[in-house]
Amino acid sequence: APVEVKKICCIGAGYVGGPTCAVIPHIQVTIVDLNQQRIDAWNSDTLPIYEPGLDEVVKAARGKNLFFSTDVDKAIEEADLIFVSVNTPTKKSGIGAGFAADLKFLQLATRRIAEVAKSSKIVVEKSTVPCRTADAMRTILEANSKPGCHFDILSNPEFLAEGTAIEDLFGPDRVLIGSLQTEQGLSACQSLANVYANWVPRERILTVGLWSSELSKLAANAMLAQRISSVNALSAICEATGANIDEVAYAVGKDTRMGSKFLKASVGFGGSCFQKDILNLVYLSESLHLPEVAKYWRAVVEMNEYQKSRFANKVVNTLFNTITGKKIAILGWAFKKDTGDTRESPSITLANHFLTEKARIDIYDPQVTESQIWLDLTDYGDIPAEPIKPHVKISETVEEACKNAEAIVICTEWDEFKTLDWQKIYDNCPRPAFVFDGRLILDRKALTDIGFKVISIGTGDRI
């Protein structure tokens, strides 16, 4: 019979580990992290990440069945099941630099489990990882385990999207669990399935082989990103012809074979997953000697880069081919609305582009902290801040950011940008007053009536 999971440990208290474990009912869950500051924040009134609904869920469970700690070893020892949810960034140097995932954090965590565990454990990989990582984890665990200790490895990729994490976790489209198809593997798979069955309908819990599970995560993200690159590629055609990308996407999405979600043209996709996972897929394809497949997926990322630079160039061209010394307001720094996460945010690319053109930028975001914006602008300290400081301002309000701006650029689709007092903003801008809608959220007619020149992604000038 499958082991009943009574205690869970989650290694890694980040965007994935924190919310994922916070929604688990009844079972004792301890989330551990090496980063003391992060754990302190999880234990405080100001959680380290912003997610709608997260505060309520954490406050209801914390100290009851949910605990945050830096005592990694103790939590490993006590647990029957361990989620490994550490970061797996793209490698910056060495073999596969710029493409392959850096698995050092994952391997360190795996080694720790092997060293500390005194009883058998189910080890679950939750971080997005290249195919066959589970195999590597198994080898490390088996080579380092104590007699009598058995480890079962499961792959259980997380599909939550930031901004809707809590909703996604309480009502997932599916939960995917991959295991070895041995008696032991299938039994471990059932143990984890039983944990989810506390709140997820059984028919939504899919069980597959380890490799299928690992590849499904990369495939899902690659195909989602591909839809955005496809719609963004079409947006360029719209701008050149007079077609309207929202109308095109609506018409296309009405086909039930296609579906209407994830067809919103934008300044480009961001986030910690899409680019990283596609590059992983590219790297995997190349190592499997499938260069045509690699080329196909790489084009999705290239189209995204093109979309960002195309939009930045459009701003420069529209402002009569120079933005030197001009003030540009950037509205939104997060990679999407309802999160404070800025990883791979298109805003960063645009800001760098504007700074290279010697513009002055004024940034507003309702959730991102000033210190985070500086980390992003300096590539976490790799670029000196001093030279750009005179050209960068970070504002507390939209009005302040937009005051005297020669261009207002919407980069994130925050709801509050839809209901701004645009007349008041217009009154404080020089003429002509340009608004660039990188998210297609503004009422074009209302703004044009006020006097703004509105330039949107995927809308031709010949209306």
* Known active-site residue 411: no
Do 134 and 178 contact (CB within 8 A), yes or no? yes
Quote the CA–CA distance of 84 and 462 in Å, as a whole number: 53
Quote the CA–CA distance of 223 and 239 in Å, as a whole number: 24
Q: Which is nearer to ligand ADP, 38 or 439 (CB)?
A: 38
Q: Which is nearer to ligand ADP, 125 or 152 (CB)?
A: 125
The one segment of 182-190, 192-200, 239-247, 267-275 that binds ligand UDX by CB under 6 A = 267-275
- Contact flag: residue 34 with ligand ADP (CB under 6 A): yes
Q: How many CB atoms lie within 10 A of CB 321?
A: 7
Q: Which does 156 bind (CB under 5 to 8 A by kind): ligand UDX, ligand ADP, none?
A: none
Residue 142, token pair as written in the block = 């088996």
Do 103 and 129 contact (CB within 8 A), yes or no? yes
- Contact flag: residue 158 with ligand UDX (CB under 6 A): yes
Burial of 44 (0-12, 13-18, 19+ CB in 10 A): exposed
**Which residue has the closest beta carbon to ligand ADP?**
14
Of the residues 189, 238, 273, 402, only one is catalytic, namely 273
Among 17, 270, 438, 458, binds ligand UDX (CB under 6 A): 270
Residue 273, token pair as written in the block = 């997953």
- Contact flag: residue 408 with ligand ADP (CB under 6 A): no
Among 69, 87, 120, 187, binds ligand ADP (CB under 6 A): 87
Distances in whole angstroms, Cα of residue 70 to Cα of each of 5, 36, 75, 126, 174: 22, 6, 9, 19, 31
The one segment of 107-115, 170-178, 264-272, 389-397 that binds ligand UDX by CB under 6 A = 264-272
Residue holding tokens 């209306």? 463
- Contact flag: residue 33 with ligand UDX (CB under 6 A): no
Instruction: Please state whether beta strands 360-364 and 392-394 pair in parallel, antiparallel, or not at all (unpaired).
Output: parallel
Q: Which is nearer to ligand UDX, 191 or 266 (CB)?
A: 266
Closest separation between CB of residue 281 and ligand ADP, Å? Answer: 17
Quote the CA–CA distance of 346 and 275 in Å, as a whole number: 12
- Contact flag: residue 155 with ligand ADP (CB under 6 A): no
Q: Which residues inside 229-288 make contact with ligand ADP, applying CB under 6 A?
A: 272
Which of 273, 276, 414 lies closest to 347 in space, CA to CA?
Answer: 414
**CB-based contacts of 326: which residues, under 8 Å, 6+ apart?**
319, 359, 360, 406, 407
Closest separation between CB of residue 42 and ligand ADP, Å? Answer: 10
Q: Which does 180 bind (CB under 5 to 8 A by kind): ligand ADP, ligand UDX, none?
A: none
Binding residues (CB under 6 A) for ligand ADP: these are: 11-17, 32-35, 38, 72, 85-87, 105, 108-109, 127, 272
- So which residues are the catalytic ones? 273
